């Protein structure tokens, strides 16, 4: 086995860890994977997700979140981006930057983003986030607004891609 691929992988790992990207992305995936449809169709699922998230927050003694149209648009954009490339990832492309994306959408900062792929229903996506400690931490954070969206793309096996944006 050639050592070159291993060496390149290690160099990338060192580069990414030096940039602080590894810690920022740690725990960002869920164990379930979402699907998408042929035409890149997407939908705002905030109205379905909000009662589930607010019920969770109420059980923890936290104030409820409200629909944030700006966060919903940011979530829709992220879900579409993932569906387009057929990959669940916060960062798509070399120069992608979460903070800049949120600022460009006008999302009140600080903000957080949960992503998932493969769940066929909003409730399953929300449950996958609840079952993930880091995603759960985001949903229980000091946020006021919520946006949740799903997008589908047939080129990735009609897999749904989900994004949740929490805003201040």
Closest alpha carbon to 63 in 127, 165, 164, 146: 146
How is the chain split into domains, by residue range? 41-167
pLDDT at 16: 31
User: CATH topology for 41-167?
Assistant: Pathogenesis-related Protein p14a (3.40.33)
Instruction: Report how far residue 132's alpha carbon sits from residue 28's, in angstroms, rounded to the nearest whole number.
Output: 9
Residues 98-153 have pLDDT tens digits of 888 899 999 989 999 999 999 999 999 999 999 999 999 999 999 999 999 999 98
């Amino acid at each position: 086995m050639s050592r070159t691929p291993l060496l390149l992988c290690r160099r990338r790992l060192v580069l990414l860890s030096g940039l602080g990207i590894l810690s920022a992305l740690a725990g960002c995936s869920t164990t379930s994977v979402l699907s998408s449809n042929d035409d890149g169709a997407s939908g705002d699922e905030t109205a379905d997700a909000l009662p589930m998230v607010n019920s969770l927050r109420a059980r923890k003694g936290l104030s409820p979140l409200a629909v944030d149209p700006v966060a919903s648009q940011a979530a829709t954009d992220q879900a579409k981006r993932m569906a387009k490339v057929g990959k669940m990832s916060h960062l798509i492309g070399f120069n992608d930057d979460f903070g800049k994306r949120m600022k460009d959408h006008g999302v009140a900062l600080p903000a957080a983003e949960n992503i998932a792929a493969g769940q066929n229903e909003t409730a399953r996506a929300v449950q996958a986030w609840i079952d993930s400690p880091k995603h759960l931490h985001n949903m229980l954070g000091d946020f006021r607004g919520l946006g949740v969206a799903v997008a589908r793309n047939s080129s990735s096996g009609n897999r749904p891609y989900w994004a949740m944006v929490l805003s201040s």
